[in-house]
Homo-oligomer: A and B are copies of this chain.
């Protein structure tokens, strides 16, 4: 097996095997873009036109409630996907922001192009089936721990996972992602 020349292909190959023709069909369908720090890829009211694969950097999605408080939904680092799937698949206006936390490079694909790509490379249905399956399980995990664990336990779990997120994003973001206030997170950290 040759080393795939592209991270995206590499990550897809984790779940489905691709021949060279399929690889290039996929690569052709994605458009590389680069964004600076703190740039919006999506703002509320806009339709989410793309799904993004993050090749480097960090991106968050969040929404702002009536009181003006940010609620962070996802914080994603390189080699993961980000989008507002609800808006993307319905092609209706989103309620979310998607914003780069760091300067980032991304691969994007539009709704129409993705449907064509599914037809060209049916294996991708399998890939995304598996991807969503895993994302779903992950969301259920997070739901479970939000419901039943204390804020402290959730933070400690995050520390244990040892994800570089903690070093790379402001504490306020982590707090929001965990569903607590920055003050609470600060107190939790002090305990240790």
Q: Which residue of B lies closest to A133 (CB)?
A: B132
Q: Does A158 contact B (CB under 8 A)?
A: no
Closest CB-CB distance, A75 to chain B, in whole Å? Answer: 14
Q: Does A38 contact B (CB under 8 A)?
A: no
Closest CB-CB distance, A192 to chain B, in whole Å? Answer: 23
Main secondary structure of the interface of A (DSSP, over half): helix
Q: Which residue of B lies closest to A136 (CB)?
A: B136
In the complex the two chains form, is A179's CB within 8 Å of B129's CB? no
In the complex the two chains form, is A179's CB within 8 Å of B133's CB? no
Q: Which residues from B are CB-within-8-Å of A137?
A: 85-86
Q: Which residues from B are CB-within-8-Å of A128?
A: 129, 133
Q: Which residues from B are CB-within-8-Å of A147?
A: 71, 146, 179
Q: Which residues from B are CB-within-8-Å of A73?
A: 140, 144
Q: Which of A71, A86, A139 is the most central at the interface, judged by chain B CB atoms within 10 Å of its CB? A: A139
Binding site for B on A (CB under 8 A): 65, 71, 73, 85-86, 89, 118, 122, 125-126, 128-129, 132-133, 135-137, 139-140, 142-144, 146-148, 179
Besides A85-B133, A139-B140, 6 new A-B residue pairs in contact (Cβ under 8 A), listed by A number:
A71-B144, A73-B140, A118-B126, A122-B122, A128-B129, A132-B136
A-B CB proximity, top 6 nearest: A147-B179, A139-B139, A132-B132, A129-B129, A136-B136, A125-B125
A-B contact pairs, 10 of them (CB 8 A): A71-B148, A85-B133, A118-B126, A122-B122, A122-B125, A136-B139, A139-B143, A146-B147, A146-B179, A147-B179
